[in-house]
Structure 1
Amino acid sequence: MKPSKLYTNQPDRFAAVEFTPELNVVLAEIRLPENQDRDTHNLGKTTLGRLLDFGFLAGRDPRFFLYRHEDRFADFVFFLEIELHDGTYVTVRRGVADQSRIAFKKHAARHQDFSDLAEREWDHVSVPFERARELLDSYLDWRALKPWRFRKGLGYFLRSQEDFGDVFQLRRFANSHADWKPFLAHILGFDAALIGEHYAKEAALTDLEAKSVTIRQELGGGDIEDAGKIDGILLLKTQEVEKKQALLDGFDFRSEDKSETKMLVDKVDERIAVLNARRYSLMANRKKIVASLQDDQILFNPDEAAELFEEAGVLFGGQIKRDFQQLIDFNKAITEERQGYLVEERADIDAELKAVNAELNTAGKRRAEMLAFLSETDTFAKYRRFTSELVTLRADIQSLQRQRDFVHRLQQLRTDIRSLQEDKIHLQSAIEADVETKSASPESLFSAIRLYFNEIVEEVIDSKALLNVSVNRLGHLEFKAELLDEAGNATSADRGHSYRKLLCVAFDLALIRAHLGEAFPRFAYHDGVLESLDDRKKELLISVLRRYTEMGIQSIATLIDSDLPKRLADQPFFETEEIVLLLHDEGENGRLFKMASW
């Protein structure tokens, strides 16, 4: 349940670090004045956490310093001693050069040194990496994490600097929310099975919708999704194939001749007659319209009439002339309107004539082909024609069958999609009910974690903090950790780095405390735990860590001496036994690895 000792096969280059079950401080002292203002010092304060992760069988990462500088660390073998739930210990041996071959040794006493232990003395030797993880999982037996393995939530108990950016989403959780939110919900006391199933349904729904789009694209994207219509056309074409095949098999085309003759008389000739009659009617109407357009002219000219009457000596008054002019204007208006209608009607007739002529041409060609077929005396020519038509029909049938299969698949997909959508709705309702119930119940695990979380934050900075879980409109859980003002409203203070780090520490400790009655990790490693806090808050936070160690929770805290609260020389901030590793910048002996920095 707790790291007990970390050592190597080369003690002269890496001194053993023996942890206590209580507060463990890794203190880096900056003694050289020229290093006081530097941000990084490469002493190994942060590296210790990475080595613990390595001992807990972290996967191979080429960016990890042991592999990035493998030429310098190839001969190192690391040993991590871990205290188990029953008070016994297991030591994990893992080398850098052969990091995928792990060894295990179970023992009763703490702080052992197995660096020179013979191979035959180990309980398991050269265990392949994945099998080694399974074996360590069984040794640790963190049953409260099941069905997940021990490494899933290890980042909450080994917080590196990169993991203080978000209280809930660790650096190792950089992939999809479906990978880590069900686990987090589980350790907070919610029904993770519902959440995991909801994500699974969502993924399956996305997959089916993508397949549906693909099938519709293969169908051409048109309105051809009526399976009944396709089946009907397929039935007719299949029947036609059978008839033509029977004719070909019997080499007898008399029935086809009869059919062609009947079609020629009943259908084609009849249609040609109808079309000719229609064309005659249209052309006659068009001729009348053209004539009307030419005849609609007013030939009476008032000016010419006035001149004529004047020559004849007949008085033609101005009022009469004006009346005639108004009559002419009125007639012109009527004529122009009538001409507009006539022009529109002529355009409609021209369009219909074009369509009729096109259909007459097609029908004429069809009639000519039928007459040629009927007058054909060469039986083999008819055979070839039937064979060609049969090939075309069969190709049409294959295309229709393929289209029908696509449509049936599409219909089945739509049925499955509707079913998944309904399942998602039911799951979302169940998730919302579960979150509401657990949030409202003072006896729930989540409520306990909430109270412990607020207690820690309030003790350190005298401000209340709220841990909250809600369900968004998509049915996904949203996790929030917020500082509250006196009115109970969320403030922006949690966005600062120092307070966000405090929220992370408070969450980790509250999580462990709430699971003290279960098989659950009982240690918390926090890198740079006091950074950016003022002195009073640092004192209070260390008091919280000490109080939590009295509950059985091991705390490993790393810090630089400049982060310590100001005190008199005879009033050290930490007890001597609390400092398990002292680093400094006065030469290689002050580093975690007693060698030149890399």
Structure 2
Amino acid sequence: MKLSKLYSNKPDLFGPIDFRSGLNVVLAEIRLPDNRDKDTHNLGKTTLGRVIDYGFLVSRDPKFFLFKHDDLFKDFVFYLEIELPDASYVTVRRGVEEATKISFKKHEASHQDFTELSEEGWDHFGLPFERAREMLDSLLDWRGVAPWDFRKGLGYQLRGQDDFQDVFQLRRFGIGAHKDWKPYVAHLLGFDHALMESHYDKQEKLDEAKTIAETLKAELGGSVDDVSKIEGMLQLKSKEAEKKQKLLDAFDFRQQDKERTKQVVEDIDARIATLNAQRYSLSQNRKKIASSLEEDQILFNPSEAQRLFQEAGVLFAGQIKKDFDQLIAFNRAITDERRGYLIEERAEVEAEIKVITTELNTLGKRRSDLLGFLSATDVFAKYKQVTDDLVILRTDIESLERQRGVLRRLQDLRTSIRTLSEERTHLQSQIEANVEAQSGDSSSLFSSIRLYFSEIVEEVTSHKALLSVFVNKEGHLEFKGEVLDDAGKATSADLGHTYRKLLCIAFDLAVLRAHLDQNFPRFVFHDGVFESLDDRKKANLLAVIRQYADLGLQPIITLIDSDAPPLAEDGKPVFSAEEIVVTLHDEGDEGRLFRMRAW
């Protein structure tokens, strides 16, 4: 499948371009000296690739130049003639003003002009856009890209300047969303794309399940994480609610009165009795402590005793008085230490009495309320109180049932997460096995592409290159193209724009060559193919491109004349007149692709 012709309904503004089977050159000549040092010249060599893409039914985008400058292009109608696998041709008609109305005409001869063809002369006229894409996909019959349609990998056949940043990830794929393009590249290289797509699907479902599980855990608030516990609580609450409901239905509160009486007698009264006994015991201890503190006072005074002894005529002085003073001092030291302990114990006892007293007051009030319930003569007051209790119970039951539902869903999600994780791991193992099998088989499609890729880079740069595929830690495929040094190690040369562009060109050509035996595109468009290369590499690359053209491919290259390879030794032009399908120049509007002022 190759390009045959591109033309418009305004040949004075956009002239017809007849493509040939082999090498096609779009040459931009910079004739004005003042323009030679400019980086851009706006002659249209890059725009040509966009017009071809438009003929291949690219989606309508307001940023696309035809729509962005609607005032200039709204009256244009473009015709793209394509050679089909059976050597017949189809012409795709697409206007700018009605960009979603597409027409088709199949024919046997090439290089036709259907600008004057009536509506009845078209096989399909004004088809809706999506229907037209399906029609073109059927006509092209690119079985080599199935199960995708013809648009999926068209970027590898139409490499603009923005598409040389990465060998594998085209600008149109955007950043991220690897699942949208990695399976396709894997398929081009001969790997099992279905395994990759399944792996991405499992990963998405796993991530979604984990996100929902985290949301449910946050909803539960970490309060309960056990279904059996919730079930038990529900059973108890439900039984209690059932009893109260029966009570209300019967309008009989004898059982309720009995339960309240039992609660008063067995619970509150028993507790009050216990607390009173404790308070009595503590009060007795406090009384004993007070007595001990009073008894610990030393009432004997040696000075007073000496005065009494003198009055009686008895000697009480000297060593006798001194021994009494020492004895009293000793006893006072012991007494002071003991008093400290007694004071601490008294404080503890009083604190306990205070706590008990507070609880007794609370229990007393509760006892009074319950006795009031028993002595109430208004049955409706009892009915209201039981109803209030039942409402609280039902609220608790609803909350528990909601928690149970959430927790059951969370458990189901956890089971699903475990299953998905196991399935993802199994798929990763299959992907790894597939990569190993294809990489190790010298007759595989991947091995052929890898060999052609390396040969192209080596012929141009004298360095080998390695095309590799491996499985990353997430289980997805990674594609890598590297330039190797003499020792066979990867160098940083591929990080530069020049080498990166060369790797892109080598990849595109290698893929096309490896698919020559399939229904697959045969053309490739490379914009600015020789930019930044030295003369020797330019000559080597041109030789490779011509070699691939001889194999049956249709390379379409654009270049500025200053970037052309050097003349041959015999002085002949680099390109023959037949190879140059478009010549652009900077001497006025006539030299541009669109012969009008620059926009």
Question: What is the TM-score of this pair, normalised by structure 2?
Answer: 0.90
Q: Does 1:225 align with 2:235?
A: no
Partners of 1:91 and 1:106 within 8 A in 2: yes
Secondary structure, counterpart of 1:368 in structure 2: helix
> What residue number does 2:190 align with?
189
CA displacement 1:268-314 (0-9 Å, x = unmatched)? 22233334444555677788899999999999xxxxxxxxxxx9655
Cα contact 2:286–2:349 (8 A) shared by 1: no
Relative to 1, partners in 2 of residues 1:437 and 1:273: Cα closer, same or farther, differing over 3 Å?
farther
Specify the alignment match of 2:9 in structure 1. 9
Partner of 1:98: 98
- 1:134 CA displacement: 1.0
1:202 match: 203
- The answer (yes or no) to whether the contact 1:289–1:346 under 8 Å persists in 2 is no
Name the CA distance, whole Å, in 1 between partners of 2:335 and 2:54. 102
In the alignment, what sits opposite 1:157? 157
Superimposed CA distance per residue, residues 39-59 of structure 1 (whole angstroms, 9 cap, x where no aligned partner): 111100100001111111111
Deviation at 1:315, TM superposition (A): 12
1:587 is matched with: 588
Question: Which of the two has higher C-alpha Rg?
Answer: 2
User: Contact 2:282/2:349 (CA < 8 Å) preserved in 1?
Assistant: no
SS in 2 for 1:20: coil
Partner of 1:32: 32
User: Quick check: 1:43–1:591 contact (8 Å CA) kept in 2?
Assistant: yes
Where does 1:451-466 land on structure 2 (aligned, <5 Å)?
451-466=451-466
Deviations 1:204-228 (A, max 9, x none): 1111111112222222x22312211
Label 1:380 to 1:115 Cα distance change in 2 as closer, same or farther (>3 A).
same
| Cα distance in 2, alignment partners of residues 173 and 549 from structure 1 | 28
8 Å CA contact retained: 1:182, 1:196: yes
Query: Superposition pairs for residues 525-544 of structure 1, below 5 Å?
Result: 525-544=525-544
Letter aligned with residue 148 of structure 2: W
Conserved? CA contact 2:585–2:592, under 8 Å: yes
2:578 is paired with a residue of what secondary structure? helix
Displacement, 1:565?
Answer: 2.6
2:57 and 2:207 map into 1 onto residues whose CA distance is 35
Q: How does 1:380-419 map to 2 (within 5 A)?
A: 380-419=380-419
Equivalent residue number for residue 475 of structure 1: 475
Q: How many residues of Structure 1 are paired with residues of Structure 2 in the alignment?
A: 580
Matched-pair contact (CA < 8 Å) for 1:209–1:417: yes
1:132 to 1:253, Cα distance in 2 relative to 1, 3 A: same
Work out the CA distance in 1 between the residues paired with 2:447 and 2:208: 37
User: Which residue matches 1:22?
Assistant: 22
- Structure 2 residue identity aligned to 1:581: V
Q: 1:293 & 1:579 partners in 2: Cα distance?
A: 123
CA contact (8 A) 1:100 1:128 kept: yes
Offset from partner CA, 1:490-546 (integer Å, 9 cap, x none) = 000111111110000000000111111111111111000000111111011011111
Distance of 2:230 and 2:321 partners within structure 1: 82
Q: 1:245 to 1:586 in 2, by over 3 A?
A: same
Q: Residue 415 of structure 1 aligns to which amino acid in structure 2?
A: T
Judged with a 3 Å threshold, the aligned counterparts in structure 2 of structure 1 residues 34 and 402 are, in CA distance, closer, same or farther, namely same
Deviations 1:57-94 (A, max 9, x none): 11112111111100110000001111111111111111
TM-fit CA distance, 1:462: 0.4
Per-residue CA distance 1:467-505 (angstroms, 9 max, x = gap): 011111111111110011111110001111111100000
Q: In structure 2, do the counterparts of structure 1 residues 292 and 412 end up closer, same or farther at CA, with 3 Å as the change threshold?
A: farther
| TM-aligned CA deviation for residue 418 of structure 1 | 1.2
Alignment of 1:567-586 (within 5 A): 567=567, 570-586=571-587
Amino acid at match of 2:204: A
CA–CA distance in 2 between the matches of 1:483 and 1:331?
A: 96
Q: 1:387 to 1:562 in 2, by over 3 A?
A: same
Cα 1:290–1:47, aligned 2, differ >3 Å: closer, same or farther? farther
In structure 1, the residue corresponding to 2:480 is in which secondary structure?
A: strand
Q: 1:118 to 1:366 in 2, by over 3 A?
A: same
Residues 286, 346 of structure 1: 8 Å contact kept: no
Q: Give the aligned partner of residue 54 of structure 1.
A: 54
3-state SS in 1 of match to 2:94: strand
Q: What corresponds to 1:509 in structure 2? A: 509
Contact 1:528 1:557 in 2 (8 A): yes
Letter in 2 for 1:550: D
- Give unmatched runs, 5+ long, in structure 2: 300-315
Q: Which residue in the other structure is 1:306 paired with?
A: none
Structure 1 residues 278 and 579, CA gap change in structure 2 (3 angstroms) = farther
In structure 1, C-alpha distance between the alignment counterparts of 2:256 and 2:264, rounded to whole Å = 12
* 1:50 to 1:348, Cα distance in 2 relative to 1, 3 A: farther
Structure 1 CA distance, aligned partners of 2:558 and 2:233?
78
Q: Would the aligned equivalents of 2:296 and 2:335 in 1 still touch at CA under 8 Å?
A: no
1:302 maps to none
Q: Structure 1 residue 249: deviation in Å?
A: 1.4
What's the CA shift string for 1:77-132, capped at 9, x where partnerless?
A: 00111111111111111110100010011111111111111111111111111111
Alignment of 1:417-432 (within 5 A): 417-432=417-432
Alignment partners' CA distance in 2, 1:289 and 1:191: 92
| 1:312-323 equivalence runs, <5 A | none
Tell me the distance in 1 between the aligned counterparts of 2:465 and 2:295.
96
Which residue pairs with 1:547 in the alignment? 547
**What is the CA–CA distance in structure 2 between the aligned matches of 1:433 and 1:334, rounded to whole Å?**
86
> Where in structure 2 are the equivalents of 1:51-130 lying within 5 Å?
51-130=51-130
Q: Aligned equivalents of 1:475 and 1:203: distance in 2?
A: 13
Q: Aligned equivalents of 1:348 and 1:8: distance in 2?
A: 108
Give the AA of the match of 2:235.
L
Equivalent pair of 1:75/1:96 in contact (CA under 8 Å):
yes
Give, as a single letter, the amino acid of the residue that structure 2 aligns with 1:48: L
Letter in 2 for 1:146: A
| Contact kept? 2:539, 2:566, Cα under 8 Å | no
Q: Residue 240 of structure 1 aligns with which residue? A: 240
Distance 2:572 2:290 in 1: 119
Q: Which residues of 2 match residues 160-309 of structure 1 at below 5 A?
A: 160-174=160-174, 175-219=176-220, 221-278=221-278
Q: Which residue of 1 aligns with 2:313?
A: none
| Aligned-partner residue type, residue 204 of structure 1 | K
> Which consecutive residues of structure 1, in runs of 5 or more, have no partner in the other structure?
300-310
SS at 1:422 equivalent: helix
Give the counterpart letter for 2:579 in structure 1: E
SS at match of 1:577: coil
| Aligned partners of 1:167 and 1:504 also within 8 Å | yes
Corresponding residue for 2:310? none
Q: More displaced, 409-418 or 261-270? A: 261-270
Q: 1:331 to 1:427 in 2, by over 3 A?
A: farther
Indicate yes or no: 2:456 matched with 1:484.
no
What one-letter code is carried by the residue in structure 2 that aligns with 1:102? I
**Shift of residue 369, structure 1, vs aligned partner:** 2.3
Whole-Å separation in 1 of the counterparts to 2:172 and 2:440: 31
Instruction: Determine helix, strand or coil for the equivalent of 1:46.
Output: helix
Distance (whole Å) between structure 2 residues aligned to residue 75 and residue 567 of structure 1:
42
**Cα distance in 2 between the residues matched to 1:25 and 1:461:** 22
Corresponding residue for residue 373 of structure 1? 373
Amino acid at match of 1:394: R
Give distance in 1, aligned partners of 2:55 and 2:7.
Answer: 10
Q: Secondary structure at the match of 2:487?
A: coil
2:44 aligned partner, one-letter code: G
Pick which of 575-584 and 410-419 moved more. 410-419
Opposite residue 197 of structure 1, the aligned amino acid is: S
Distance apart, 1:440 and its partner CA: 1.4
Which letter does structure 1 place at the counterpart of 2:512? I
- Whether contact under 8 Å (1:17, 1:580) holds in the other structure is yes
Change (3 A) 1:130 1:354: farther
Measured at CA, do residues 277 and 165 of structure 1 come closer, stay the same or move farther in structure 2, by a change above 3 Å? farther
One-letter code aligned to 1:196: E
